[in-house]
């Protein structure tokens, strides 16, 4: 079974930056798309970003496009989310997820299954 562990969350002022990391177990990490989702209290889980199995394609939710960047380091079995120009509305628990099927692009949120426990990001105004 896949195990995902997020880290890097914290408290930051509006306009600041954070980089989240997600460490994954498994011998075939490089074959699967990876994604980040977030959920704020009282709100539905929201798609944030995804990266294809090859790393050649990335996708972003409209609310974070231009501010967040997803990347992966297959040698470290890790996916990252670089966040800049943070806003109070970015406050949420951020979780990473792995694609259900190998070689998918990751362009659809429905492609993802296994979830980590999440890391809290709080942006003060």
Dihedral of the alpha carbons of 44, 48, 49, 50, in degrees to the nearest 10: -10
Residue 83: which of 104, 105, 61 has the closest Cα? 61
Q: What percent of the chain has pLDDT over 90?
A: 90
% of the chain surpassing 70 pLDDT: 99
Give the mean pLDDT of the chain.
95
Residues across the chain: 125
Task: Give the per-residue pLDDT at 94.
Answer: 98
What pLDDT shows up at residue 2? 85
The Cα 63–Cα 116 span in angstroms is 22
């Amino acid at each position: 079974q896949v195990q995902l562990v997020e880290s890097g969350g914290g408290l930051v002022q509006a306009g600041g930056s954070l980089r989240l990391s997600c460490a994954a177990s498994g011998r075939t990490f490089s074959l699967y798309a990876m994604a980040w989702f977030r959920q704020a209290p009282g709100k539905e889980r929201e798609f944030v970003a995804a990266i294809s199995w090859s790393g050649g394609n990335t996708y972003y939710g409209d609310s974070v496009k231009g501010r967040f960047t997803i990347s992966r380091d297959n040698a470290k079995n890790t996916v990252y989310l670089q966040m800049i120009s943070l806003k109070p509305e970015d406050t949420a628990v951020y979780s990473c997820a792995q694609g259900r099927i190998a070689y998918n692009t990751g362009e659809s949120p429905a492609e993802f299954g296994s979830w980590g426990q999440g890391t809290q990001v709080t942006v003060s105004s």
